[in-house]
Every structure is written in structure tokens, then in C-alpha cells.
Amino acid sequence: MGKYISIDETSFSNGDLYTIFTNKDAQGKKGALIAMVKGTKAETVIKILKKNPLKIRKKVLEVTLDMAGNMGLIVKKSFQQASQVIYRFHVKKKL
């Protein structure tokens, strides 16, 4: 897990939703995928993330995410010290 990560949800062809965490420092190459959790419910995702030691989770300084409430809650509960940065696309869309 890097200092700068992203969180987003995706749907596969069968309709299942997944929450995906990526290491931004890897720039899409080896080591970019941190975790893929089935579902988007905050409680479920937080439970999975908390399997990582707090010492590791505290190293995350910034998390990029969309404006979904569940994503913000996941970041707040799992990476308390990290800043939340909204994807530029979502900010532009709101404007």
C-alpha cells in the first residue's frame, strides 16, 4: 500500500459491484492493485481493509475518490490521517 491511493467502484458484466483500491505510485503497472472487494457497502469494505495493520494504513497520506458517501466513510474509518481528494471529473460535473 502506497502513500497515495485511489478508491472506486466498478461493475462487471454480470452486474456484481466491486470496490477497487489502487496504488497511484505504481501508475497502472505491477503493484498497482491493492485490493478488490466484492460489494460497495462501507461496513463490508472497512472490515476487509482493517485486516491490514494500522501501522500500514497510517502510511496512506491521500486517497482519491468520487463523491459517493460510502466511499468517504470507508476512507474516514480506514485511513483516518489521510486527506480525501475528489476526482476532478466529479468536481467538473457538479459545476
**Which tens digit of pLDDT belongs to each residue from 81-92?**
999 998 766 556
Domain that holds residue 40: 4-94
Average pLDDT over residues 45-73: 91
Give me the long-range contacts of 70-76 (CB less than 8 A, separation at least 24): 70/40, 70/41, 70/42, 70/45, 71/7, 71/8, 71/9, 71/19, 73/42, 73/46, 74/7, 74/19, 74/42, 74/45, 74/46, 74/49, 75/7
Q: How many folded domains does the chain comprise?
A: 1
CATH number at residue 67: 3.30.420.10
pLDDT for 64 beyond 90: yes
pLDDT at position 27 is: 82
Confidence class for position 94, pLDDT limits 50, 70, 90: low
The residue with greater pLDDT, 87 or 24, is 24
